[in-house]
Structure 1
Amino acid sequence: MTDARTPTPAPAGPSTWAAGDYPAMAHRLAPVAEQVVRLAGVTAGAGVLDVGTGTGNAALAAARRGALVTGADPTPELLALASERAAAEGLPVVWQEVDAERITGRYDRVLSVFGAMYAPHARSAADAMIRCCAPGGRVVSAAWTPGGFMAATNHVFGRFLPPPPPGGQPPTRWGDPEFLRTLFPGEPTCTVERIAFAFGSPAEAAGFWIRAAGHVQVERARLVATGRWDALHEELATVFAEWNRQPRDGAGDGDGTGVRVEAEYLVAVVHPH
């Protein structure tokens, strides 16, 4: 297990996010977006901003409730996918190519599902979210916790990837209630939740994780050339095996095969005004 001091890769830029198969990961994270929209109390006609929308999970979930939604993200490739999804469902979402620190406008609900946590400057991103939240509105975020499974995988990546820039901090800080209290006024209401990921084997899980991670894919040529590509897969597979919660033979309903891990995340509800 790791903590908030665990070194993590540098925040990814737009081209980096598009380098991996992030949409495959986003598909698995859709239930968290649905949960955040419910906790935010999104209703028809409400103005909603989804910060770091990616492929649009939370934006689309809010739009399905009849909200007036804007999805913001700095990655044009992911926004294009989000726009295609919205068009397929006939949902009138507005898409903006902008990072979390430069969002503008005024909204009843400002949401971020594993998005704002990747902003290079947490204070600037939080301040922008507060500015965009209308009086009486809410800011609701979901972020991976510092001691959870996602932090453990980041710890492995950090041993194979270039170091973060000076002063760089892990995005899992946003999953620490104490840190959030330094960013947002008042007392955020925080709950710890978990989402499960299931695969046929630790090796299969590691392969999926690496394919989805753009910041790993951009380093693939270097890792292959230095003979570290296979080692990365092996170390990550070990983490999946260590965190496996799949019941063994004769226990529960499991058949003793496959791997199932639970990733812990923090949902925070803030009333900034």
Structure 2
Amino acid sequence: MSTLYQRIIELSDTEIAISLLHYLESDISTDGKTKKVLLSEISDLINATIRGAIISEARSYNVNNVNNTNYNILDGDGYNEININPSSANREAKFPDPTLAVNLNRKLKIRNGGNGTHKITLTPFAAETFNVMSGNEEWTLSSFELIQAGDWCEFIGNGTNWIKCNEPYWHKFNNPATGAKVSKTTGWTADQFTPGGFEITFSEAPIGSIAVRDVISQGGTQSTIFYRKSGDTNISNTPSGSSELSHVLMFSDDDVIQGVYWMSSDLKIQIAVTNVNTDVNVQYPIEYLQ
């Protein structure tokens, strides 16, 4: 029994130890007292192994606090999180080469640790991209932005590019601008997204945002209004004629609506009206999803 117990002590794989525990519970032929002692000792060993793995993982998570400077993330430098404080100016975090073996499956979390005045722009090592999922689309971005204090994101190297791996979450603009952002009152072509519609760029949102929450209203001769993210060919360019009812923004008896608008990778949406005398007013966004 001592040889078996010594072998269990040497095990680094908890699953194997658990399998041995099950074996001892069912198959071993020994007196009840000895078996009870062995089972107790092996259970303690498994629990200690699990606790040690958790403590080891926690200790291996390293944060690098960078104060008010641009930062180049190095290959295999051991850091899991880079917390950058852009206290006096916008700063840049340059990612390492994802094609190197040392960066394959490496996760990097970047956080804006400033006071909200300045942003952090993530840039690639060379011509690689930051890949972001938006619905069933995968965007390939040449940069990514963290514009407010506390904003963060996490990427993993896949051997070619950096893939955003954390779930998107809503960010509230700390000080959204007031009043109308942009309006369109003339130049419409009825029931057309482009070129006779209205394309809006939500440049207030950071690069890498997939949606905004905003207020849109209509005036003049009110009509049914449709919306799509810019260039979405899954939605007809003539939405009323094609009965794209899932993308109705407002009906003719609606004055104003607050909604969530999915954007293209360049932060744009498109609006179509069914009456050329309709006025459309778009306010500044209050939240962004990134």
Between structures 1 and 2, the one with greater helix share = 1
Larger-Rg structure:
2
Q: Which TM-score band (shorter chain)?
A: under 0.3
More strand per residue: 2
